[in-house]
């Protein structure tokens, strides 16, 4: 095992890493201001992890290493990040995007200013805007919704 001085780090990018491998590292990095995690998934991964408190974190990126993730990772819920201003997340790793995001913000006590949601979306821009009114939202892909919802919600995403 490599022992590194994690405490002084203010920026960290971990690529192709499983969520359970991140926890011990992140718990030793209270001074992080920027963190990017390219997470791997596996069917036998646990669904809960210990909380990770990062009091100075301003920018968090959580994306799956796989371009088409198969499972919701439920990893966002582990973070307590009161200073967070920017979040970049792939919607596909969120089981229930709106509930997960609002619960995360409440638990963290953060006042998010910007959120970038990547990947295909099951939730329309309108729904995000109503739920996260004070957050500037950006998206990189179109709303695909569920088959039954596409016809009903296509116009709500074009605003």
**pLDDT (tens digit, 0 to 9) for every residue of the chain, 159 residues total?**
567 788 999 999 999 988 888 888 999 999 999 999 998 876 666 667 889 999 999 999 999 877 666 556 678 989 999 999 999 999 988 889 999 999 999 999 999 999 999 988 999 999 999 999 999 999 998 788 763 343 344 444 444
Judge whether 157 lies within some domain: no
Please state whether beta strands 136-139 and 86-90 pair in parallel, antiparallel, or not at all (unpaired): unpaired
Which H helix or E strand runs over 14?
Answer: strand 11-17
Judge whether 3 lies within some domain: no
CB atoms within 10 A of CB 96: 12
Judge whether 35 lies within some domain: yes
Q: What are the residues whose beta carbons fall under 8 Å from the beta carbon of 151, sequence distance 6 or more?
A: none
Judge whether 159 lies within some domain: no
- What's CA 96's distance to the chain center, in Å? 12
Judge whether 43 lies within some domain: yes
Judge whether 131 lies within some domain: yes
pLDDT at site 79: 94
Judge whether 1 lies within some domain: no
Range(s) of the domain holding residue 50: 11-152
Reported as a single tens digit per residue, the pLDDT across 92-112 is 888 899 999 999 999 999 999
CB-count burial class (<10 Å; 0-12, 13-18, 19+) for 42 = exposed
pLDDT at site 44: 67
What's the domain count of the chain?
1
pLDDT at site 28: 93
Judge whether 22 lies within some domain: yes
CB atoms within 10 A of CB 151: 9
Q: What is the value of pTM for the model shown?
A: 0.85
pLDDT at site 148: 33
Structure tokens, 47: 């669904």
Q: Are 103 and 77 in contact (CB under 8 A)?
A: yes
């Amino acid at each position: 095992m490599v022992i590194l001085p994690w405490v002084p780090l203010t920026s960290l990018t971990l690529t192709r890493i499983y969520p359970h491998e991140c926890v011990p590292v992140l718990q030793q990095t209270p001074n992080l201001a920027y963190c990017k995690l390219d997470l791997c998934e596996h069917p036998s991964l646990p669904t809960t992890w210990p909380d990770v408190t990062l009091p100075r974190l301003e920018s968090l990126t959580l994306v799956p290493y796989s371009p088409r993730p198969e499972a919701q990772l439920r990893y966002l819920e582990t973070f307590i990040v009161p200073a967070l201003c920017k979040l970049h997340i792939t919607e596909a790793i969120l089981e229930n995007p709106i509930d997960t995001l609002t619960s995360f913000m409440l638990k963290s006590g953060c006042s998010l200013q910007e959120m970038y949601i990547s990947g295909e979306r099951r939730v329309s821009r309108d729904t995000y805007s109503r739920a996260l009114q004070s957050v500037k939202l950006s998206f990189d892909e179109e709303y695909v919704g569920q088959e039954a919802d596409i016809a009903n919600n296509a116009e709500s995403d074009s605003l």
